[in-house]
Amino acid sequence: MLKFHEIFRPSIPDSYFEQAVDLWLGFDAGHLGSQMYQDHKAMMGQRPMSGVLTWENYAKHGTFPNINKDALLSGIKYIFDPNCMNLPLIEFGPGSMEDASLLVKTFQPKEYIPVDYSVGVIKQAMDMASLEKNCLIRPAVLDFFAEDNSPLIDSPALGILLGVTISNIPGPIPEAPPSQALIKAFQNITCTMPAGGFFLVSMDTCQDEKLIKSYYNEPWHRLFGVNHIYRMAEELPMHNFDPDGFEYYPVWHENCGLLAHTVRAMKDQIFEMGKNKEIAISVKEGDVFHYNNSFKYNPEFFEDCAEKAGLKIIRHWQGESTIRLYLFSFSPKETK
């Protein structure tokens, strides 16, 4: 029997239009990360531009995703703790869920909960459920960086956040490394596990601008980096808008250790947004629009933020790459 049961799919406000308006008018920045992985029908000529498909292609061919995979394969035996065995496993941002089988095999949970803002995770989880006969699959669709998320489990659990996704905390470019935002991200994630447990997370220590840009400027990521522009043209009330007029453009901010994911206008264009064309947008060639973040953390900074968020280091591991794995423990949340 297929052991699959969706936890819940909470009602998520349709804020994509407002987020898009904020991007073009400069009212917000670094805030579209959760929208990047959505499945959609937009095309670039004959090429499908779905966030799910363009991400899967980058995950398969890209240098940085494969460095992350190698780090997990090499480091899992060093980061392993027997106290994590058989605990419910909650994976935040599983992406294509290629790591899920390894994690289930390693920790042997009776319950696996993939968590993502993209409803595409439901289909992927169903496919996995057909292979994992002894593990109940219970997906949850939510933005795990958001505040006030509901508990996902009422018993101690092992939470996992891989792919250095902890680097994608949203927000405009800060003046310094984002201590308060990172502390809050840790707290927002662990609040979904109020009975306490463990948290396995990967992060990137690289501060080499040339190397970082090379990872994200590969052709597969360049397509992923503009998929949301094509989605806007496909799904939102936009008029006279040409998505071909933008290119992916990575910008490094050394002061805060941020690789800002942006799109840059390749031509002038004026377009309108809204059913009645009520919002006019003027874009000039060379204009840059910051839509998502990839922070690169100093280990001491990362560990200090984790401690302030209530996490205790059990062990950490780093191989030859700049990817570092951490296993933390955290106590049950106090009930009011």
> Rounded mean pLDDT of the chain?
92
Q: Which domain holds residue 26?
A: 1-331
Confidence band for 7, pLDDT divided at 50, 70 and 90: low
Count of alpha carbons within 13 angstroms of residue 134, beta-carbon side: 7
Q: Is residue 95 part of a domain?
A: yes
Output the pLDDT for position 98. Answer: 74
Q: Is residue 336 part of a domain?
A: no
For residue 132, is pLDDT > 80?
no
For residue 33, is pLDDT > 60?
yes
Q: Is residue 67 part of a domain?
A: yes
Output the pLDDT for position 1. Answer: 32
84-98, 165-179, 181-195, 232-246: least confidently modelled range? 84-98
* Token duo for residue 301: 């900074």
Residues 85-120 have pLDDT tens digits of: 999 999 998 866 678 888 999 999 999 999 988 877
User: Residues 252-279: what's their mean pLDDT?
Assistant: 97
Q: Is residue 208 part of a domain?
A: yes
- What is the 8-class DSSP label of residue 211? H
Exposed, middle or buried: residue 82 (CB in 10 Å: 0-12, 13-18, 19+)?
exposed
Q: Is residue 61 part of a domain?
A: yes
User: Residues 67-79: what's their mean pLDDT?
Assistant: 96
Q: Is residue 253 part of a domain?
A: yes
% pLDDT > 70, the chain = 91
Output the pLDDT for position 119. Answer: 77
Q: Is the pTM of this model over 0.85?
A: yes
Output the pLDDT for position 13. Answer: 47
Kindly report the CA angle at 199 between 197 and 200, in degrees rounded to 5? 140
Output the pLDDT for position 5. Answer: 53
Q: Is residue 315 part of a domain?
A: yes
Residues with Cβ within 8 Å of 57's Cβ and at least 6 positions away in sequence, in order, are 220, 223, 224
User: Residues 303-314: what's their mean pLDDT?
Assistant: 98
The structural domain count of the chain equals: 1
Confidence band for 333, pLDDT divided at 50, 70 and 90: confident
Confidence band for 18, pLDDT divided at 50, 70 and 90: very high
Output the pLDDT for position 131. Answer: 65
User: Domain holding 166: CATH number?
Assistant: 3.40.50.150
User: Residues 177-196: what's their mean pLDDT?
Assistant: 97
d(CA 59, CA 65): 5
Output the pLDDT for position 334. Answer: 76
Confidence band for 10, pLDDT divided at 50, 70 and 90: very low
